[in-house]
Structure 1
Amino acid sequence: MPNKLNSPSAKAGLDALEARLRQDLAWLELPAKSWVPPMTVDGQAVLEVAIIGGGQAGMAAAVSLIHLGINAVIFDQSPEGFEGPWATTARMETLRSPKKLTGPALGFSTLTFRAWHEAQFGLEGWEALDKIPRLQWMDYLRWYRRVMSLDIRNAHRVESIVPRADGVVALHLSAPEGKSIVLARRVVLATGRDGLGGAYLPPLVEDLPSEKWAHSSDDMDYRQLAGKRVGVIGAGASSMDSAATALEAGAARVDLLIRRADLPRINKGKGAGSPGLTNGHLHLPDDWKWRIRHYINIQQTPPPSGSVQRVSKFPNVRFIFGAPIDAIDLHAEGNEEGLRVTTPRGVFDFDFLIFSTGFRIDWTIRSEFAVIAPHIRNWSDRYTPPPGEEDAELSDSPDLGPVFEFQPKQPDSLPGLERVHCFCYPAALTHGSVSGDIPSITDGAQRLAQGLASLLYGEDIAAHYRTIQAYEEPELVGDEWLPSAPTEAERR
């Protein structure tokens, strides 16, 4: 690349981009003036919107709200600059999305990754770029946070979400300075791919020593795998990332145990991408929503070509197809205890297993949802799929309203539940892929913000009407014209 990050020329380019962004916002009169009436409950100021999660979805939602004149505060449990998976648990070399996607730019060319990249590396650098390096994407998100002046409160973990009948939601928080309770009129969950649960693990894992295995999403030091025989369960993108990272860390051997007879070749999700579906999925009949999401699920997403090649260049790796796991047993090997994995393709001995088995919605492993979980209406309460189209992930997905709000199984079972909004991956069945993935995150964030603006305005309509009545800035003062002389008829 012609420039290096943080070089004088790169800094000058970024300074110029930021000046142009400020000008763009000024020309558009953004952000809008604050208009939501201040609210106090029990002597405590109430936030207009609290967002849980400071990754790309949470930040896009916050900026969309701020541009509409709504104050938003983000709470994130991670240290500053490490929100989301990019600099922690993600292990891909590059993003899987094409570099041209605008992501959380919200319609501003000066807020795109491309603008940020070209400002520092020039057009030549952009054209030389194949896909976006993972850590460079994190650097872009850090810049996004800074230039949009977002109020993100790091090292704040939400311990409980408690909707109340008096128009607020209480967030019980823990932070280095202690515990606190924050009140908000609306709460947005921008908690990512595992936003309503965690890693999916097959039941046979329960009997294995924890030091002998990990899930691909775990924050683990792969250097501990040097010289070891490693088995990776699965064949998705995260499987390839984990296998490659283990090989690069010096694993003696890596076997990918793959249930399917072959890798999927076509990403059906790309075929589903269009402004029509992005804007129309929410309004489709239930059977079409289910049919589309179920089809994409069962077809599965192939790992990126580059990720597979990153693995296959090593001589000490094997792709073993048609190998679902029948059993995993402990067995002694000298003074060590290993893992013996039985499959239809044979028996394999490993020192360590990595389960790349995806995620699931599971309220029981997220204690912060203990109050709301029993009351949330899921798609299993709403829709029964035709025989042969059963899908546990879809059945467990929350049945959301038009502003991503949770809905109760029984009316009034938990007053205030509808004030909690699900802006993370499990919203996909109701709203489509607009609540976390890079391609349509702008559409989702703006849909959420516009919906929240409508709800907040409607709740305070009496106050807003009084504001209209009290408005007294004159357009005319009375000296802008001269009264006409009396007409002939008037003089008679």
Structure 2
Amino acid sequence: MTQSIHPDQQALDTLRLIGPAPDNWVPPRDGIDHNVVIVGGGQSGAAFAFALRRAGIGQVSVIDAAADEAHAGVWLNRARMNKLRTPKTLVGPEAGLPGLSFQAWYEARFGADSYAEIDRIPRTRWAEYLAWYRHFLDIPIRYGTRVTLIEPAGEHFRLHLEIREGGTLRNVVETARKIVLGNGVAGNGAPFVPAVLKSLPPSHLAHTADAIDFAALRGKSVAVIGGAASAFDAAATALEAGAANVHLFARRERIAAVPVTRARAYPGAYDNYFHRPDAIRWAQARRFRRSGSTPPIDAVERVTRFANFHLHPGVSWTDARIRNDRVETNVAGEPFAFDFVIAGTGYAVDPALRPELAHFAAHIRLWRDHYVAAAGENDDALGAHPYLGAALEYLEKSEGDAPYVKHIHVYNPGAFVSFGLPVGDVPSMKRDIPAVIQRISRDLFLADLPAHEARINGDIAADFDESLYAHSVWQHDKADVA
């Protein structure tokens, strides 16, 4: 009789072999609810929670504004690609433990041959894996919890939280010593909507960051603005939902096809990206902006197989208005009318756009505060990115004005200029999560150094007394003489 093997046996063995997580070593403080609050309960929040547990740091809380697990994160909600855009071989949230990796999870369920056949990870499989990861590792997420304001309070923060439980909404204040912003692509800014589209009502306009009812676009004429992956994914989803036609308008004469970030993807360059001089990091960010974000080949093929897909490269919208319940515009001298417009126009990075940072956004050092670009190399959008420290922490604009900002770690695309792309996605997990954990550990330890000194220098009970070896002690006067 063949004995069935538990699909999670390798993961179970991994946890058994690394042993139990250390006890919480951080001394409690009066008036402190949490040592660390992680804002965002998606893949980043879960990975940070597990890493902090393994570092022996307790009193950690992960919060997410989504109502429940099904609505949290992007993979089953706003993400519309068929496959992840990154290689399947990248290290993810497993923290260097192969038994917790996507490959181990996938092969345990579908076999090694099946894993070998996939070129990139299917989006829905990735979502399944992340759900398994959270549940298998028993990582609690506080859903329905939104941070509305982060208020500095000496050596800690007061977090103003809006908590929705069923139909009840209540506001509470909790305290934390450290904060990790794992809050997604808009976490240090907001979705960017071009000025020409801002007058359009929500009934006729959505950003790719929004939840879009694609079924309602069946039989409709749809315009998509943008030339990166999210724009192509939205166009494809509309076509697959039965849109009558989809027109995609891109500013560039050609769709970006040169993945410039790939040149710095080897460990030496990527692991040490932060240590490059500012001028090199700035130049790399500008190169990416000039070259553009490249959609995967399959994202382009996904739309071009439809005869009712129409691409308009090298054009920009200059006007848009509602007439007869349709969006009318003239593009390059040609009139168009659409039932719905989707802005796949990316995100603006600027801490001042985040209401929860209102108390200190003006004190956060930005790239424009720290680095003066050479003539002709200025870029206002890049200049609005925060200039981060080695552990992805905010730095204060003027020394002494806001020393507390260094206790907020930015694990989202706001770190782009300081750390390169992508931050907050799978490729950055191996490099950046350990750096943040190490800094949190260091800061918490040094902040309570007297307590740790007392603990280290405290009395230690002996493992045994002299009776254990007394009978073997050499005594010359009683020694046998030959």
Residue 303, structure 1, aligned to residue 295, structure 2:
yes
Do 2:75 and 2:127's aligned partners in 1 also have CA atoms closer than 8 Å? yes
Taking a change above 3 Å as real, the CA distance of residues 312 and 457 of structure 1, as seen in their structure-2 partners, is same
Q: Quote the residue 2:113 is aligned against.
A: 124
Do 2:352 and 2:362's aligned partners in 1 also have CA atoms closer than 8 Å? no
Which of 107, 110, 122 aligns to 2:99? It is 110
Do 1:323 and 1:345's aligned partners in 2 also have CA atoms closer than 8 Å? no
Q: Quote the residue 1:384 is aligned against.
A: 372
Letter in 1 for 2:255: L
Do 1:278 and 1:440's aligned partners in 2 also have CA atoms closer than 8 Å? no
Q: Quote the residue 2:312 is aligned against.
A: 320
Which of 10, 29, 35 aligns to 1:20? It is 10
Q: Quote the residue 1:33 is aligned against.
A: 23
Do 1:406 and 1:420's aligned partners in 2 also have CA atoms closer than 8 Å? yes
Counterpart-to-counterpart distance in 1, 2:422 and 2:83: 21
Quote how far apart the aligned CAs of 1:423 are. 1.6
What is the aligned-residue RMSD (CA, Å)?
2.1
Do 1:235 and 1:263's aligned partners in 2 also have CA atoms closer than 8 Å? yes
Residue 330, structure 1, aligned to residue 325, structure 2:
no
Alignment of 1:197-212 (within 5 A): 197-212=189-204
Counterpart-to-counterpart distance in 2, 1:371 and 1:278: 33
Residue 92, structure 1, aligned to residue 84, structure 2:
no
Do 1:434 and 1:444's aligned partners in 2 also have CA atoms closer than 8 Å? no
Quote how far apart the aligned CAs of 1:194 are. 1.1
Per-residue CA deviation, residues 107-129 of structure 1 (Å, 9 max, x unaligned), is: 11111111111111111221232
Number of matched pairs: 468
Taking a change above 3 Å as real, the CA distance of residues 264 and 278 of structure 1, as seen in their structure-2 partners, is same
Residue 195, structure 1, aligned to residue 194, structure 2:
no
Q: Quote the residue 2:342 is aligned against.
A: 354
Alignment of 1:131-150 (within 5 A): 131-150=120-139
Alignment of 1:148-227 (within 5 A): 148-165=137-154, 167-177=155-165, 178-227=170-219
**TM-score between the two structures when normalised by the length of structure 1:** 0.90
Quote how far apart the aligned CAs of 1:25 are. 2.8
Do 1:48 and 1:184's aligned partners in 2 also have CA atoms closer than 8 Å? yes
Taking a change above 3 Å as real, the CA distance of residues 347 and 30 of structure 1, as seen in their structure-2 partners, is farther
Alignment of 1:61-76 (within 5 A): 61-71=48-58, 72-76=60-64
Quote how far apart the aligned CAs of 1:138 are. 0.9
Taking a change above 3 Å as real, the CA distance of residues 480 and 297 of structure 1, as seen in their structure-2 partners, is farther
Report the secondary structure of 1:105's partner residue.
coil
Residue 233, structure 1, aligned to residue 222, structure 2:
no
Q: Which runs of 5+ in 2 are unaligned?
A: 478-482
Counterpart-to-counterpart distance in 1, 2:376 and 2:93: 37
Quote how far apart the aligned CAs of 1:365 are. 4.2
Taking a change above 3 Å as real, the CA distance of residues 475 and 274 of structure 1, as seen in their structure-2 partners, is farther
Do 1:379 and 1:399's aligned partners in 2 also have CA atoms closer than 8 Å? yes
Q: Quote the residue 2:47 is aligned against.
A: 60
Q: Quote the residue 1:255 is aligned against.
A: 247
Letter in 1 for 2:410: C
Counterpart-to-counterpart distance in 1, 2:421 and 2:97: 21
Letter in 2 for 1:381: D
Report the secondary structure of 1:408's partner residue.
coil
Residue 429, structure 1, aligned to residue 429, structure 2:
no
Quote how far apart the aligned CAs of 1:146 are. 0.9
Letter in 1 for 2:225: I
Counterpart-to-counterpart distance in 2, 1:170 and 1:300: 39
Per-residue CA deviation, residues 71-123 of structure 1 (Å, 9 max, x unaligned), is: 22100111124322111111111111122222212111111111111111111
Report the secondary structure of 1:209's partner residue.
coil
Report the secondary structure of 1:104's partner residue.
coil
Letter in 1 for 2:337: D
Counterpart-to-counterpart distance in 2, 1:364 and 1:398: 10
Counterpart-to-counterpart distance in 1, 2:134 and 2:210: 26
Do 2:261 and 2:421's aligned partners in 1 also have CA atoms closer than 8 Å? no
Report the secondary structure of 1:294's partner residue.
helix
Letter in 1 for 2:125: Q
Quote how far apart the aligned CAs of 1:179 are. 1.8
Residues 66-75 or 79-88, more deviating:
79-88
Letter in 1 for 2:272: G
Letter in 1 for 2:95: L
Counterpart-to-counterpart distance in 2, 1:33 and 1:271: 42
Counterpart-to-counterpart distance in 2, 1:218 and 1:113: 28
Quote how far apart the aligned CAs of 1:30 are. 4.4
Counterpart-to-counterpart distance in 2, 1:155 and 1:418: 27
Q: Quote the residue 2:362 is aligned against.
A: 374
Counterpart-to-counterpart distance in 2, 1:48 and 1:352: 46
Do 1:57 and 1:424's aligned partners in 2 also have CA atoms closer than 8 Å? no
**TM-score between the two structures when normalised by the length of structure 2:** 0.92
